[in-house]
Amino acid sequence: MLLPVRSVPALHSADSSIFTLRYFARCMACTFCHDSCCQYGCDVNVGERDRILAVKDELAPFVRAPVDQWFKPQVFEDPEYPTGKYVRSGVVDGACVFLSRDGRGCSIHRFALATGRDYHDVKPMVCWLFPVCWDKGVLRPNSDVTDDLQCAGAGQSLYRSSREEIRKVFGSELIAELDVHAQQFER
């Protein structure tokens, strides 16, 4: 059984565009891009990488690439990550190594559902928080949303679509504060 090992990134503010930008949040029902948001791979906290590798034998049948391609070797220092370090997932054939090749979505997410695990305990936090992220203490839109997300403009606000995931990371106290701000933008 995987034990969640997470600390909370420190926030001091939220970019108001999380309340105004919209995107089609139901990714598996999306016909816009067929997972193009996963083309670059993702940042993976070193602790998350280690949890993924701890279940590599069970996860491997869900991932098309061999284990040695799952993560790039370079480790980056960043105090905002729970361990202070992160790596990048591998990219194979123009997409994150964990993108399902025989269907849609993330193979880690599919693995979690198939094995009865909470995907929050296995899947990288930056992926399940998408389309929001944190950077230098600011909760903000992921750059994919502002740069080239094909489904931008459709659906709910980034905040509304990610509200429960934000709660999972940052807690109910932040959600109560953000709800007040969201209501101002929704009027």
pLDDT for 82: 87
Whole-angstrom distance, CA of residue 83 vs CA of residue 76: 11
Q: Averaged over 75-101, what is the pLDDT?
A: 91
Task: Quickly count: other Cβ atoms within 10 Å of residue 82's Cβ.
Answer: 17
b or e along 31-64 (b: 16 or more beta carbons within 10 Å of the residue's beta carbon)?
eeeebbbbeebbbbbbbbbebbeebeeebeebbb
Taking alpha carbons only, the member of 23, 40, 12 closest to residue 158 is 23
pLDDT for 20: 87
pLDDT for 15: 92
Which of residues 181 and 5 earns the better pLDDT score? 181
Does the pLDDT of residue 64 top 90, yes or no? no
pLDDT for 124: 94
Percent of the chain exceeding pLDDT 90 equals 48
Does the pLDDT of residue 59 top 90, yes or no? yes
Whole-angstrom distance, CA of residue 153 vs CA of residue 68: 38
